[in-house]
Amino acid sequence: MSKIRILMAKPGLDGHDRGVKVMSRALRDAGFEVIYTGLRQTPEAIVATAIQEDVDAIGLSILSGAHATVFPRVLELLKEKGASDISVFGGGVIPEDDIPALYKAGVTRIFTPGTPTDDAVQFINDNIKPKSA
């Protein structure tokens, strides 16, 4: 049976991990396979892990203000490695004003503080499909 696989990652020195944990649990409870790699991941490590794990999407959690550099970097690396079919979404403390630029760079969705976890589940069910051969 095909299952959606999602890598949940915390890039950089950002130690706020409540959001990523809450969200990981919610995604597990929705029936997805969630790979969680812990804190302090570099974009390079995130992309290498995503490829080994053959995930369908990467969810980045950023509360440190580094979103404007990290999201585009991850997307760029995925492209470099021939893995652009992996969708990149995320959440955390990200000002509304910064979001359009992230979408323009190719981020599929941003969830800001207070979003019900069901919204993310819905987003994944509507937009992410398990990869095929």
Which of other proteins, ligand B12, none lies near 92, with the C-beta cut-off 5 to 8 A by kind? Answer: ligand B12
Q: Of 42 and 99, which has the nearer Cβ to other proteins?
A: 42
CB 87, min distance to ligand B12, A: 11
CB 98, min distance to other proteins, A: 28
Q: Do 33 and 6 touch, CB atoms closer than 8 A?
A: yes
Q: What is the C-alpha separation between 56 and 92, in angstroms, rounded? A: 21
Residue 83 interacts with other proteins (CB under 8 A): yes or no:
yes
Which of other proteins, ligand B12, none lies near 41, with the C-beta cut-off 5 to 8 A by kind? Answer: other proteins
Q: For the chain, how many helices (H) and strands (E)? A: 5, 5
Q: Do 41 and 56 touch, CB atoms closer than 8 A?
A: no
Q: What is the C-alpha separation between 77 and 90, in angstroms, rounded? A: 17
Residue 86 interacts with ligand B12 (CB under 6 A): yes or no:
no
Residue 93 interacts with ligand B12 (CB under 6 A): yes or no:
yes
**H or E stretch covering 111:** strand 109-111
Which of other proteins, ligand B12, none lies near 49, with the C-beta cut-off 5 to 8 A by kind? Answer: other proteins
Residue 56 interacts with ligand B12 (CB under 6 A): yes or no:
no
Q: What is the C-alpha separation between 86 and 84, in angstroms, rounded? A: 5
Segment interacting with other proteins, rule: CB under 8 A, options 62-70, 77-85, 92-100, 101-109? 77-85
**H or E stretch covering 91:** strand 87-91
Q: Which of residues 101-130 bind ligand B12 (CB under 6 A)?
A: 111-115, 117, 120
